[in-house]
Amino acid sequence: MKKLSLGAYIFTRTTIFVALIVLLLPLLWIFSLSLRLPDEVFESYLFLIPKHLTFQNYIIAFKYTKDYLNIGFPKMYLNSFIVTIATIILTVIIAPLGAFALSNYQFRGRNFIYTVILATFMLPAQVLLIPLFIMYKKLHILNTYLTVILPYTIFTVPISMLILRGFFNGIPRELKEVAKIDGASDFIYFLKIAIPISKPAIATCIIWSFPIIWNEFSMALVFLGKDQLKTLPVAIATIGGGQYIVPYNIFAASMMICIIPILIIFLAFQKWFIKGTTAGALKG
Amino acid sequence: MRRENIGYIYLLPFICILVFFFAYPSIFNFIMSLYDWDGFSKKIFANYVGLKNYIRLSRDGYFWIALRNTAYFELTCCVFQVFFPLFFALVLFFGQFKYENTIKALIYFPALISPVVVGLVWRYLLSLDGLVNAMLRSIGLDFLAIEWLGNIYTPIWIIAFINIWQFTGYGMVIFLAGLSSINKEIIEAATVDGASLFQCILKIVVPVLRPIIILDLLLVFITGFRVFDIVFVLTRGGPVHHSELLTTLMYYYSFDSFGPNKMGVAAGISVFLLLIVIVFSVIRGNFIKRETTL
């Protein structure tokens, strides 16, 4: 391709540079704060690199959350992890089955189901709060992981079904004919052929679902009221609120403890995240 | 059973989800909105009030503020959460960057952080002695170093800004996916023929991106109605409910321990949200179906 003109070169570089500053400076600055000694928080405030590096804030943050939020980071992470993994397992069982039905059978009401799938797209979690709260109260299951795991599937399964349906539709018909000649039933074909070759699509669904569930807030807030059951976003939301004040460097370290693991996961699966975003946004 | 109807068996688990977590809540919200219930007393449907909850909402100043705020929020996000992602995507696409993928990843990353954490970070940055005010003071704009979240005017715009800040990369990634289907050689050929880059963008790129722009717009609009966490940690709807969105007002009416515990009124807000989101989600889905090239 033709080389950029000098003006275009300067313009594009400046744009991206400014964008990166605006997007990343807040995070970098919180990171810098988390590495400062308590009495150096306000020293050379605007500079990113602290005078003395210290990691003790991170250790204090662990103790601090345990004392003031009644739940430590390990437990928050465990709760979020249980809820996320369980929802993803449910999703990768339910969505392929449904997607297979949509792509393989011409049953009555198929178009209706399809429209309903579209209607559930990005449903606000808040509209589910009252009805589910009452249902859970009657069933006496408030404050159990199940109260969030089950409804989270309404956010993950429909889009996963659309992604997978597209993938199943793309499987050559001959493959199914061959399976039939070999005497395989539809279900065997689904299990032994359709699922194994859809692994990339299933991975896309998992990646797409992960941040939605991991970051979900309102349902976890209302249904998991007990301190020991709180997921990461719900537990951390109360930091520095109410009666007590959290020191800035401890606050910053706590934020980093929430961000760093996500950053590591992102770096490990970067391509997949970007693929998942695109698939979810353009298909669902 | 007819062979084609076996499909229902595969769909059964999904239909269960739909019944319990979509159909039931939708209907229940509507019925609940016709009753007055405080959330504690044993009998839920004891107090039928007809449309009184809706009338109460229409006379409630907080509801109109929340509605106005939601409109401000949606409008700002729909403009900038399309403009910035599109702009950055075009700059990255045409800019011949050596580290394109790294830049893409860096711009995208904030979208993955939990909005609660993003809200907390910004709450701190915008506090009286936070980074924003320190920067303003350092360049001599002391009069601008105000309590950004402590007045009734700025918070809703700040909430919109934070949402745009967080999800610009998200939209950019979507646009870049659309741009990747454009053959750069066509543009090169056009520029050789004397077309300016601007003309190329207008004549070649925009037509390709048009459906994606519409999709992104609908996505931003629909997801705007589920924003809750940022407001919850940033202002909790305050001061005096002036930064409330429909979602947070719904929470205030129902589960907030300082709220009035009017489940019926909150259900009324839910019905409103549900109707808007379902209508636009179906429009969006049908649009995707029509644009088969995606």
Chain B, window 203-222: residues with a beta carbon less than 8 angstroms from a chain A beta carbon: 212, 215-216, 219, 222
The distance of Cα B84 from the centroid of its chain, to the nearest Å, equals 15
B226 closest CA partner among B202, B250, B261, B252: B250
Q: How far is CA B7 from the centre of its chain?
A: 35
pLDDT digits (tens, 9 = 90+) for B243-280: 999 999 999 999 998 889 999 999 999 999 999 999 99
Confidence at residue A242, expressed as pLDDT on a 0 to 100 scale:
63
Q: Which domains does chain B have, with CATH numbers?
A: 61-290 (1.10.3720.10)
**Residue B37 contacts residue B264 (beta carbons within 8 Å):** yes
Burial of A200 (0-12, 13-18, 19+ CB in 10 A): exposed
For residues A237 and B233, is the Cβ–Cβ distance under 8 A?
A: yes
Asked if the model's pLDDT at residue B3 lies above 90, the reply is no
B288 close contact with A: CB closer than 8 A: yes
Question: Torsions phi, psi of A53, nearest 5?
Answer: -85, 135
Closest chain A residue to the Cα of B137, Cα to Cα: A46
Residue B286's CB: how many other CB atoms inside 10 A? 12
Task: Give the pLDDT score at B180.
Answer: 87
Confidence category of residue A243, pLDDT binned at 50, 70, 90: low
Structure tokens at A184: 């395989």
Q: Which of A122, A153, A195, A231 to mutate to test the interface with B (most CBs of B within 10 A)?
A: A122
Spell out which residues of chain B touch residue A160, defining contact as CB-CB under 8 Å. none
Residue B156 · residue B73 · CB < 8 Å = yes
From CA B210, how far away is CA B248, in angstroms rounded? 33
Stretch among A17-26, A166-175, B201-210, B221-230 having the lowest mean pLDDT? B201-210
| pLDDT tens profile B14-43 | 999 999 999 999 999 999 999 999 888 888
Contacts of A132 in chain B (CB under 8 A): 21, 25
pLDDT score, position A49: 79
| Alpha-carbon torsion angle A89, A90, A92, A97, nearest 10 | 150
**CB burial readout B102-133, b (16+ within 10 A) else e:** ebbbbbbbbbbbbbbbbbbbbbbbbbeebbbb
Q: Which of B97, B124, B164, B269 is the best residue to mutate to test the A interface, defined by the most A CB atoms within 10 Å of its own CB? A: B124
Question: Looking at CA atoms only, how far is residue A236 from chain B in angstroms?
Answer: 8
Q: Is the pLDDT of residue B226 over 80?
A: yes
Bridge partners of B48? B35
Does any CB of chain A come closer than 8 Å to the CB of residue B122? Answer: yes
pLDDT at res. B2: 64
Closest by Cα among A100, A74, A83 to A220: A83
State the best of B2, B22, B26, B234 to mutate against chain A, taking most chain A CBs within 10 Å.
B22
Res. A275: pLDDT tops 60: yes
Lowest average pLDDT, out of A177-181, B3-7, B159-163, B212-216, goes to B3-7
pLDDT (average), residues B99-107: 94
Cβ contact B120–A27 (<8 Å) = no
Q: How far apart are alpha carbons B172 and B209 in whole angstroms? A: 12
Q: What is the mean pLDDT of residues A266-279?
A: 89
Which residues are within 8 A (CB) of B164 and not within 5 positions of it... i.e. 6 or more apart?
A: B76, B77, B80, B81, B84
d(CA A163, CA A168): 9
Whether A25 has a pLDDT exceeding 90, the answer reads yes
Of A259, A256, A239, A250, nearest to A37 (Cα)?
Answer: A250
Name chain A contacts of B25, Cβ cutoff 8 Å: 127-128, 130-132
**A4 contacts in chain B (CB < 8 Å):** 94-96
Q: Which residue among B7, B212, B294 sits closest to A101, beta carbon to beta carbon? A: B7
SS3 call for A284: coil
Residues contacting A157, CB < 8 A, separation 6+? A90, A91, A94, A95, A98, B14, B17
Q: Which among A121, A127, A186, A191 is the top mutation candidate for probing chain B, defined by the most B β-carbons within 10 Å of its own β-carbon?
A: A127
A28 interaction partners in chain B (CB closer than 8 Å): none
Yes or no, beta carbons of A26 and B168 under 8 Å apart: no
Number of Cβ within a 10 Å radius of residue A180:
13
> Considering chain A, what is the average pLDDT of its residues?
91
What is the number of H-type helices and E-type strands within chain B? 14, 0
Report pLDDT digits (tens) over A40-87. 777 766 777 777 888 999 999 999 999 888 899 999 999 999 999 999
Q: Could you say which of 1.10.3720.10, 1.10.486.10, 2.40.30.10, 1.10.760.10 is the CATH number of the domain covering A58-283?
A: 1.10.3720.10
Interior angle at CA A22, CA A17 and CA A24, nearest 5: 90
**Domain spans, chain A:** 1-54, 58-283
Give chain A's end-to-end CA distance (angstroms, integer). Answer: 35
Chain A residues in contact with B73 by the CB 8 A cut-off are none
The answer to whether residue A141 scores a pLDDT higher than 90 is: yes
**Radius of gyration of the CA atoms of chain B, in A:** 24
With beta carbons less than 8 A apart as the criterion, state whether A268 and B161 touch. Answer: no
Selected for mutation to probe chain B from A103, A123, A146, A156 (highest B CB count within 10 Å) is A123
The overall average pLDDT reported for chain B is 91
Q: Above 60 in pLDDT, residue B294?
A: no
Lowest mean pLDDT among A133-142, A227-236, B131-140: B131-140
CB B78 within 8 A of CB B218: no
Interface list for B 80-119 with A (CB within 8 A): 87-88, 91-92, 94-97, 101, 103-117
Q: Is the pLDDT of residue A1 over 70?
A: no
> Tell me, what amino acid is at B190?
A
Chain B residues close to A102, C-beta within 8 Å: 7, 11
Check: CB of residue B231 under 8 Å from CB of residue B251. Answer: no
Mean pLDDT of A145-160: 96
Residues B272-292: tens digit of each pLDDT: 999 999 999 999 988 988 876
Name the band, by pLDDT with cuts 50, 70 and 90, for residue B184.
Answer: confident
Answer yes or no: do B29 and A104 touch at CB < 8 A: no
Report the phi/psi class of residue A44: left, alpha or beta, with left for phi > 0 and alpha for psi in -120 to 50: left
* Band of residue A284 on the pLDDT scale cut at 50, 70, 90: low
Q: Is B196 on the interface with A (CB under 8 A)?
A: no
Give CA angle at A170 (A166, A173), nearest 5°: 135
Comparing alpha-carbon positions, the chain B residue that sits nearest to A127 is: B270
* CA-CA-CA-CA torsion sign (B225, B121, A147, A131): negative
Q: Which two tokens stand for residue A186?
A: 């539809």
Calculate what percentage of chain B has a pLDDT beyond 70: 98
Question: Could you read off the pLDDT of A106-122 as tens digits, one per residue?
Answer: 888 888 999 999 999 88
CA distance B111 to B218: 18
Asked if B5 has any chain A CB less than 8 Å from its own CB, the reply is: yes
> Which residues share a beta bridge with B35?
B48
Pair of tokens at residue A268: 């490990």
